[in-house]
Copies of this chain bind each other. A is one copy, B any other.
Amino acid sequence: MLNQKRLERIRSRMREMNLDTLIVTDPDSIAYLCEVLIHPGERFLGLLIPARGKPVLVRNALFSAPPDPALEQVVYTDTDSYAELMHQVLQPCRRLGVDKTMAASFLLPLLTDHFAEEIVNGSPAVDQTRACKSKEEILLMKKASEINDQSLAELKTYIRAGVSEKQLADQLAAIYRKNGAEGLSFPSIISFGMHAVDPHHMPDDTVLQNGDEVLIDVGCIYQGYCSDMTRTYFYGTSPSEKLQEIYALVLQANQEAEAMLKPGIPLCEVDGRARQIITDGGYGPYFTHRLGHFIGRQDHEFGDVSGTNRQLTQPGNIFSIEPGIYDPSAGGVRIEDLVLITEDGCEVLNHLPKDLEVL
């Protein structure tokens, strides 16, 4: 059913942005608003939110949705014309907002047919609402991270010489399912040895050897909400002195960034604190990504912890704190938790130990 509270928050932001109408096309945003999750593939799916009156859900007949008195539904088929469909459902207006991910094939006809004097990215109206989680959402995200903690703890018992990255990834998927998760937030990253230097390495048939490091960046979905955590372990023998130094710096960056969190902090300052620690340690050029990203129904949601984001932290924000150093001459280390901004501070959602550990 349409969530009137969320709709009101979005309409209030629409007024601030002077939007007459907003077309939401992100399936997760549509599910957030009206509890209908449809992945339409290449077909059009849109929730049209006028400034006043009932929102309109436009969907292909292939995908079903329960009737909802608060929502008008317009159903089309594969043989209908998109342009005619839009003329049927969308009143010409002055300032039209569209979702940031709306595909060009659906956006360009709106421009050609002059549906609005101005078409702008209207996603912030939805994204900033989604970025402040409700109590119910927070409970689900805590549970997702609890399952993530427990599952990685169980996976550790499978880490031994001869196992391959792919085998560990498969094992983790089975553990997640056993623990009540419904799937992965994203394809698991499991990197042995120098694979850890590539932040986005995909598991392959490489087998674990004595002396390897083991970087594990994984997350699961619980009732539609994502978790995401990274730990870096060492197998068999202690890491080199240089890698120990790198580990200590990354851990310090993670801990000091988490320690400063409370409402009202510019996100760029959080990134800056972690980056300063790593730069002062001499590894600045090897911290090649932003410090974190927001998360919720999607692993990467709008909002990030980066040098360019001047937005302030707000209660209900949930994002990752994941400093990393990737030095091709030594190895790669990343340590990541999810954190929740509370009314007066912050709560770290992951509780798996972060101290350097040789398995």
Chain A interface residues (CB < 8 Å from chain B)? 41-42, 61-64, 77-79, 98-105, 107-108, 111, 119-121, 123, 198-200, 288-290, 300, 304, 306-308
Contact = CB atoms under 8 A, between A and B. Distances in A.
Contacts of A198: 64
Contacts of A290: 78
Given A108-B120, A289-B78, A200 B306 contact: no
Contacts of A300: 41-42
B104 A62 contact: no
Nearest to A38: B200
A200 B307 CA distance: 43
Contact of A105 (B61, B121, B200, B288): B121
Given A200-B63, A300-B41, A104 B100 contact: yes
B98 A104 contact: yes
A188 to B, nearest CB: 13
Q: What 5 A-B pairs come out closest when comparing CB atoms?
A: A100-B105, A102-B104, A101-B103, A78-B290, A79-B307
Nearest to A99: B104
Given A100-B104, A103-B103, 20 more contacts: A62-B199, A62-B200, A62-B289, A63-B200, A64-B198, A77-B288, A78-B304, A78-B306, A78-B307, A78-B308, A79-B306, A102-B103, A102-B104, A103-B104, A104-B107, A105-B121, A105-B123, A107-B107, A108-B120, A108-B121
Contacts of A289: 62, 78
Contacts of A78: 289-290, 304, 306-308
A327 to B, nearest CB: 16
Contacts of A200: 62-63
A45 to B, nearest CB: 13
Contacts of A62: 199-200, 288-289
Contacts of A104: 98-104, 107, 121
Contacts of A79: 306-308
A102, A198, A304: residue with the most chain B Cβ atoms closer than 10 Å: A102
A9 to B, nearest CB: 22
A77 B108 CA distance: 28
Contacts of A123: 105
A254 to B, nearest CB: 19
A27 B99 CA distance: 20
Contact of A111 (B77, B102, B111): B111
A78 B307 CA distance: 8
